[in-house]
Structure 1
Amino acid sequence: MDQLLPELPETPPRAPDADGDEERLGKITFTHRFVDSPGDGETVRWHYVEGGPAHAPVVVFLHGVPDSWWQWHYALEALGSDYRCLAIDLKGYGQSEKGTGDFRQEGVAIQLAALLDQLRIERFSLITHDRGTPVGDHLAALMGNRVIRYGRGQQHLWHLHPDLHPQQEMFTSPDAHSMLADARRLVVTAYSLLTEREVKESDLVRTVQEFSYDGISTAVPRYFNSSSFRQEWVERRTRLIPQWKCPVLLLQGADDPVQPREFYTDPLVVAKLPQGSGVHLFDSGHFWPFEAPEETVTVLREFLK
């Protein structure tokens, strides 16, 4: 980190997008959308980018921390010609809602379901990473047969060890706000500690910018204060996994230091998932969407077929 931080160029704030703004990813034009949907009090304002044929199969992407919809831009660029892709900024992140309210994983999943209902999305495949995955776990259980496939990325599942989720203590500490407010240092720290392969500087810069919007440093800790890794673990084993109806592909970086590969290659784990489920280990660390973009696209394309 000491070497990477000085090398990363200064990252001035990015101007907020407006509904209808377009962004070109490869050959596909994606549109920024802002939608007020039922949620806390009256509404939750969601930001997402959307692209691809309007009547094609739908794929919904949920990112982790310290990321945003941008985490999926390689996948969006590659899959946008064949799928209607929606990459959503989770509540509290990017340009989505950051006001007080329900930041339980289940609560956010219920609000995401309301958004998808409002967008008249009946059936879809779900791809998640890191802290978007606990929300995805609830969403897959809540929406049942409406989820066609679940690419479940980079998060504890059946096995858990208390030494392997240090971010819980970090993000519930009195210093959490100031730590998260320094987006540049936070992104460099996370990517330095958890990657095995080089990440493009342009991806790090955009990640910093997307994590620099006002309110993020206050909103994101609400997730960690609303639950715990142990609580999520108990809910998965006792309530959520039995409700998943679709094939689940566990997507894990083989060299993530806090999520050992043996937790996912244990055959008893896949046996507890719906028929047709499996595991793919990326030749990377934690952040495979950026570390191994070509492998990510190949695996997702095959899974979505």
Structure 2
Amino acid sequence: MLKIMEIIGLIILRLLSTVIALVVLAGLLYRRWRNGKDYFAVKPRPTPPSLISDEKWGTHKYMHLKKQGIRLHYVEKGNSNNPLILCLHGFPECWFSWRHQLENLSDKYWVVAVDMRGYADSDKPSAKSAYDITLLVEDIKEFILALGKSDQDKCVVMAHDWGGAIAWQLVMKYPELFHSHISCNGPHPVAFMKVMRKSWKQALMSWYMVFFQTPYIPELSISVNDLEMFNKSFRGEHNKEAFPDDVMEVYKYYFSQKGALTPPINYYRNIDFGRGTENIPVVTVPTLIIWGSKDAYLSKEMAILAGAECETSVVKYIDSATHWVQQDEPQQVNRFIREYLASKSL
């Protein structure tokens, strides 16, 4: 009976994603008709913006992961003899999302912001299956060990959005590697499913996850009008101060490159919507949850529910911040991080 219900659920998901995709496509074609043929054009950006190479963010490096067979790009700042804070970004982002933490926290910590596989200057395998979460978790485990950290020299993992989803899996599967865990608007699997099952509002907020199950159209919808989605998503209606034009150009540069859109969307295409939450262990790594209350994609209730899945947790809301909390309110986020790690004697 359970297998039959899973099949029915999968069929409903496919039908719903197809309906959403057709509605989106109709809207795109209408706007193409209204705006002209350039509506689907993305401006060529062959040269990286100068902001990417600004030394205040740190040093650009690459790491080849032998077991995983992939090369990851990362930016590091600080003394490598200091405690490691490893930063994992979300969608649609890159290492640059942690620029404020690289600059501010590197006086006391070795801060490393990595481009996840499929993003920015990291390798981009072509197969959809290459973005299964089990592979993403193993990427980061091997990356940590390759940096020279082990269970004798534990690190801090700090993550946001999709990086947050991966970090929750990391601290559950490999707790021995981590001194602390900092989650910035990152969905814990149990908390996410609890809210989804009882909240139509969250279901509507998560519509894009269903939409992203379809081929081609999600990529097209993101690319239209020279990647205008980035402005709408990051800035919203009132957030231009945190995301000025030069910052937006960094994201648009990375995502305007050939083949840059499909790998990040493949993270969503590998979501197992039928996965249960019964066997998910309690998080034993001490956890700080920082949550922007104005998140348009994830309910603020998820923060408290995620904390309940941890043996030890602290939840900090920032009412003025959106989903992009560490970029919206970097000073407040950095203060929370310093205070929390100091309380843990790191």
Q: By the TM > 0.5 criterion, same fold?
A: yes
Q: Which residue of 1 is the match for residue 297 of structure 2?
A: 258
Aligned 8 A contact 1:196 1:284 in 2: no
Q: Tell me, in whole angstroms, the C-alpha distance in 2 between the residues paired with 1:16 and 1:74.
A: 18
Q: CA deviation at 1:208?
A: 1.9
Query: What is the TM-score normalised by the length of structure 2?
Result: 0.73
Question: Gaps (5+ residues) in structure 1?
Answer: 1-9
Larger mean CA deviation between 181-190 and 66-75 belongs to 181-190
Q: CA deviation at 1:281?
A: 0.8
Q: Which residue of 2 is the match for residue 84 of structure 1?
A: 110
**CA RMSD across the alignment:** 2.8
Aligned 8 A contact 1:195 1:284 in 2: no
Distance 1:166 1:38, change over 3 A: farther
Larger fraction in helix: 2
Distance 1:59 1:65, change over 3 A: same
Q: CA deviation at 1:83?
A: 0.6
Distance 1:55 1:223, change over 3 A: same
Distance 1:228 1:186, change over 3 A: farther
Among the aligned pairs, what percent are the same residue?
Answer: 19
Residues 10-25 of structure 1 correspond to what in structure 2 (within 5 A)? Answer: 12-15=45-48, 23-25=54-56
Q: CA deviation at 1:245?
A: 2.1
Q: Which residue of 1 is the match for residue 314 of structure 2?
A: 278
Distance 1:302 1:193, change over 3 A: same
Q: Tell me, in whole angstroms, the C-alpha distance in 2 between the residues paired with 1:205 and 1:238.
A: 43
Q: Which residue of 1 is the match for residue 64 of structure 2?
A: 36
Aligned 8 A contact 2:95 2:115 in 1: yes
Matched, 1:172 2:208: no
Select the residue among 110, 133, 141 that pairs with 2:172.
Answer: 141
Aligned 8 A contact 1:103 1:226 in 2: yes
Q: CA deviation at 1:92?
A: 0.7
Matched, 1:206 2:250: yes
Q: Which residue of 1 is the match for residue 337 of structure 2?
A: 300
Larger mean CA deviation between 120-129 and 175-184 belongs to 175-184
Select the residue among 206, 223, 243 that pairs with 2:267.
Answer: 223
Question: Gaps (5+ residues) in structure 2?
Answer: 1-42, 197-202
Q: Tell me, in whole angstroms, the C-alpha distance in 2 between the residues paired with 1:141 and 1:300.
A: 21
Q: Which residue of 1 is the match for residue 161 of structure 2?
A: 130
Q: CA deviation at 1:195?
A: 6.9
Q: Which residue of 2 is the match for residue 59 of structure 1?
A: 85
**Residues 4-51 of structure 1 deviation map (CA, whole Å, 9 limit, x = unaligned):** xxxxxx78344499xxx96411xxx611111211355xx101000011
Distance 1:200 1:22, change over 3 A: closer
Select the residue among 195, 199, 202 that pairs with 1:160.
Answer: 195
Q: Which residue of 2 is the match for residue 150 of structure 1?
A: 181
**Residues 239-270 of structure 1 deviation map (CA, whole Å, 9 limit, x = unaligned):** 2x42x32111112111113323233346xx53
Number of residue pairs the alignment of both structures matches: 282
Aligned 8 A contact 2:49 2:253 in 1: no
Matched, 1:107 2:135: yes
Q: Which residue of 2 is the match for residue 5 of structure 1?
A: none
Larger mean CA deviation between 251-260 and 142-151 belongs to 251-260
**Residues 59-107 of structure 1 deviation map (CA, whole Å, 9 limit, x = unaligned):** 0000111111000101110011111111000111111110135211122
**Residues 94-123 of structure 1 deviation map (CA, whole Å, 9 limit, x = unaligned):** 111101352111221112211222222222
Q: Tell me, in whole angstroms, the C-alpha distance in 2 between the residues paired with 1:11 and 1:289.
A: 29
Q: Tell me, in whole angstroms, the C-alpha distance in 1 between the residues paired with 2:235 and 2:210.
A: 19
Amino acid at match of 1:97: D
Q: CA deviation at 1:285?
A: 1.1
Q: Tell me, in whole angstroms, the C-alpha distance in 1 between the residues paired with 2:229 and 2:272.
A: 21
Query: What is the TM-score normalised by the length of structure 1?
Result: 0.82
Distance 1:93 1:59, change over 3 A: same
Larger fraction in strand: 1
Q: CA deviation at 1:194?
A: 8.6
Q: Tell me, in whole angstroms, the C-alpha distance in 2 between the residues paired with 1:176 and 1:285.
A: 23
Distance 1:194 1:222, change over 3 A: farther
- Say which SS state the counterpart of residue 72 (structure 2) adopts: strand
Amino acid at match of 1:160: V
Distance 1:229 1:294, change over 3 A: farther
Q: Which residue of 2 is the match for residue 4 of structure 1?
A: none
Q: Which residue of 2 is the match for residue 75 of structure 1?
A: 101
Over alpha carbons, which structure has the higher Rg? 2
Q: Tell me, in whole angstroms, the C-alpha distance in 1 between the residues paired with 2:166 and 2:178.
A: 14
Amino acid at match of 1:280: K
